[in-house]
Amino acid sequence: MTGALTALTPREFAERALVGTLLWQPGRILDIAAWLDAEDFRTPANGVVFRHLRDAVAEACGRVQWGTVQVHAEGGSGRTSGVTDADEALRTVMVIADNLSDMREHPSSWSDVDIEAERHACADASARCAAEHPGLLQQLDVSARAEIDAVLALASVNPYAVPGVDAVSLFERISASTEPGDRSISAPFLHTLMATAPATSMGQPEVYGQMVLEASIRRQVQQAGMRVAQASQTTAELGGLLAAVETAVNDLDVAQQRWGIVNDGHIGTTSVDRPSAASLRSVPQRVDPDTLASRLDLVAPMPEEGEVATAEETVLAAVLVRPDTLSGLAARLHPEDFADDQLGLAFRAAIDVHTTARATGSRVDPVTVVWEQQRHAAQHGAGISVDRLMRIVERGPVGDLGYAAEVVMRGRLARLTVDAARAVQQAAQHPGLQPADVLHTTRLAYDAVRATVTRMSGEPSNPSPDAGGDSRPHEPVDQPGGSPGRSSAQVIQLRQRAANLRNAILVDSRNAHGSGRPVHPVQAVPSRDAEQHVERDIERGMEPDV
């Protein structure tokens, strides 16, 4: 087992093992496909491979009789093989034959995976060679034909091989697909699947399929509003990460109490240790994995960087195509959750447009999003370019929006936890900080993780009566419009009023010029000072006062 595989969750391992085993033994898929759908896979990429493999085998079944490896001299039509040159096909067979000969002579130097791969490749290459170039094999000399006969005898060990269906042809098939989600499948991914599968003789695809189906049924039952046991989900990657955070917070509580007792005789008397009344009200509650499980997949592995990037583009593409999804999504997924700042800003703009749609009459589409983004460029940054946004829209969502949003959230949690750990480490090593400062910094860092998890789970977290139910007490979040305590709609209204006031100043100054009245220096131009004054009021969340 490689190090990479140890990070797999049982559910992901079962999915990969199933697809990997079926890549080795494609003949077993049709029986499984009678009761397992591609949509049953939690990870969309695994479902894509399953779907294409199922279809490829079904098509192959319509062409040839199979059940054992058959090298037939006729047919071959409809194959998408890249082997078109007779010499190349023959060379391929001979190279593989040499390898298999070497395997027989030096079996200890070849792994089971290599032997299986060579057997499979040989069977396929021979079948293609015989089908596309009948009579070619007979041109070989006697020793070569004997070798190939031996090779084919070895290949017949795999009774579930399907001529014309292997990893290479499957990759060609997926690459030629026009489905947006299919383009994320790479050749190394297929190789990884095959490497994940147990040896062919040990593989139990029906058992793995049953596991995948069980997990899918649990998800469906949960989504339908019914409870289901979570007993099998105990080795969570994300759950383990959150448990580590909770352990750290508990240790922190003990440390703070001991520090207070040692220094002051009672707990928390230093100004730094003593939390304000507001912060006490807004401290996020303990993260309860059982509560979160229904909203966030705690058994999912930490997403990789590329997976997060794809998921973020999918979320943005999906909300642009179906803006109504923003209503439910915006409460759990925030712009700062995006690793790519440009995509986060575009998502923020989409939320703002969607939130104010009733008042402004405009709805979310690429144009309104880019426009809204531009309006706040000075405040938040330039954001995504039109070209990139259009490419994302044209490519469309890759897979399921819910899954993509969850990948983005899991990625955010992973980064946030790493940042928290780094902040704690830096504080601990800083010579100028007192222990109370370090404890305080640690508390803030871990509470940020807690608050984010609580928000993503969709559970309300200790709403503060004074804070208007703000559930993000410690998250490092920039409020839309930069005005704490104000909604996007309110900020936009204030900005509109400010713009009107600026226009009034401008008109007033022009009238003054035209009338010959003496013009005060401040009024001679649309007063920059007055503008800044208005902006400051808005930033402070106050009504502009001019």
Partner 1 sequence: MTETPTISSEDMAGLVAGREALPLLPEGAPGPVQHAGMWWAIPTGETDYRPVTDPAQIVLLDRNTQRYAAARVATARAREDGGSP
φ/ψ of residue 162, rounded to 5: -120, 115
Q: By CB under 8 A, which span of 100-108, 221-229, 243-251, 387-395 interacts with partner 1?
A: 221-229
**66 phi, psi to nearest 5 deg:** -135, 175
- One-letter amino acid for residue 474 of the chain: H
Q: Which is nearer to partner 1, 174 or 197 (CB)?
A: 197
The residue (of 143 and 201) whose beta carbon lies closer to partner 1 is 201
- Give the binding range for partner 1 (CB under 8 A) out of 11-19, 199-207, 331-339, 373-381: 199-207
Shortest Cβ distance from residue 203 to partner 1 (Å)? 8
Q: Which residue has the tokens 């490497």?
A: 195
List Cβ neighbours of 499 (8 Å cut-off, separation of 6 or more).
none
User: Can you tell me which of 55, 214, 340, 419 binds partner 1, judged by CB under 8 A?
Assistant: 214
Binding-site size, partner 1 (CB under 8 A): 32
Residue whose CB is less far from partner 1, 198 or 240: 198
Indicate which single residue of 70, 156, 186, 210 sits in contact with partner 1 (rule: CB under 8 A): 210
Residues 6 or more apart from 514 whose CB is under 8 A from it?
none
**Residue position matching structure tokens 């759990």:** 332
- Are the CB atoms for 38 and 185 separated by under 8 Å? no
The residue within the footprint of partner 1, chosen from 84, 101, 111, 204 (CB under 8 A), is 204
Q: Are 179 and 203 in contact (CB under 8 A)?
A: no
Mask of contacts with partner 1, 37-76, x by CB under 8 A? ------------------------------x---------
Cα separation, 495 vs 247, whole angstroms? 45
Residue 277 touching partner 1 (CB under 8 A): no
Binding to partner 1 by residue 388, rule CB under 8 A? no
Q: How many CB atoms lie within 10 A of CB 56?
A: 21
Please give the single-letter amino acid code of residue 315. V
Nearer to partner 1, 291 or 462 (CB): 291
DSSP H helices, 64-160, are 86-105, 112-132, 142-155
Minimal distance in Å, beta carbon 251 to partner 1?
A: 32
Q: Is the torsion defined by CA of 515, 516, 517, 522 positive or negative?
A: positive
Among 231, 254, 277, 378, binds partner 1 (CB under 8 A): 231
**Distance in angstroms (rounded) separating the CA atoms of residues 247 and 237:** 15
Selected from 207, 331, 377, 522, the binder of partner 1 by CB under 8 A is 207
Closer by beta carbon to partner 1, 35 or else 371: 35
Check binding of 224 to partner 1 (CB under 8 A): yes
- The minimum distance between CB 461 and partner 1, in angstroms, equals 17
- Rounded distance, CA 373 to CA 140, Å? 69
d(Cα 111, Cα 117) in Å, to the nearest integer? 10
Identify the residue among 8, 22, 29, 36 touching partner 1 (CB under 8 A).
36
Query: At closest approach, how far in Å is the CB of 58 from partner 1?
Result: 17
Chosen residue from 226, 262, 277, 378 binding partner 1 by CB under 8 A: 226
Judged by CB under 8 A, does residue 142 bind partner 1?
Answer: no
The 3-state DSSP class for residue 474 equals: coil
Residues 6+ apart with CB under 8 A from 464: 278, 281, 282, 470, 473
DSSP state, residue 199: P
Is position 222 an interface residue for partner 1 (rule: CB under 8 A)?
Answer: yes
Interacting span for partner 1 (CB under 8 A) from 163-171, 208-216, 432-440, 523-531: 208-216
Decide if residue 462 touches partner 1 (CB under 8 A). Answer: no
- Return the half-sphere exposure (C-beta side, CA atoms, 13 A cut-off) of residue 271: 0
Angle between helices 305-321 and 401-429 (to 10 degrees): 130
Residues 337 and 409 sit within 8 Å (Cβ to Cβ): yes
Q: Which is nearer to partner 1, 34 or 142 (CB)?
A: 34
**203 contributes a contact to partner 1 by CB under 8 A:** yes
Three-point CA angle 415, 416, 421, nearest 5°? 100
Nearer to partner 1, 27 or 481 (CB): 27
| In the complex, least distance from residue 202 CB atom to partner 1, rounded to whole angstroms | 8
Binding of partner 1 at residue 157 (CB under 8 A)? no
Stretch that binds partner 1, among 41-49, 108-116, 215-223, 272-280 (CB under 8 A): 215-223
Determine which residue in the list 20, 209, 383, 544 makes contact with partner 1, applying CB under 8 A: 209
CB of 19 to partner 1, least distance (A): 16
Answer whether 133's CB lies under 8 Å from 83's CB.
no
Name which of residues 284 to 343 contact partner 1 (CB under 8 A).
Answer: 294
Is residue 160 part of the contact set for partner 1 (CB under 8 A)?
A: yes
Nearer of residues 38 and 421 to partner 1, judged by Cβ: 38
Among 72, 183, 218, 375, interactor with partner 1 by CB under 8 A:
218
CA 155 and chain centroid, separation: 39
Is there binding between residue 20 and partner 1 (CB under 8 A)? no
Tokens of 188: 């190394």
114 is an interface residue for partner 1 by CB under 8 A: no
Please check whether residue 241 is in contact with residue 414, taking contact to mean a CB–CB distance below 8 angstroms.
yes
Tokens of 97: 């034959």
Candidates 226-234, 240-248, 267-275, 316-324: pick the segment binding partner 1 (CB under 8 A): 226-234
Single-letter code of the amino acid located at 19: V
Does position 220 interact with partner 1 (CB under 8 A)? The reply is yes
Q: Nearest approach, Cβ of 66 to partner 1 (angstroms)?
A: 11
Q: Where are the alpha helices (DSSP H) in 3-85?
A: 3-6, 10-24, 29-33, 44-63
Provide the binding-site residues for partner 1, judged by CB under 8 A: 31-32, 34-36, 67, 159-160, 201, 203-207, 209-210, 213-214, 217-218, 220-222, 224-229, 231-232, 294
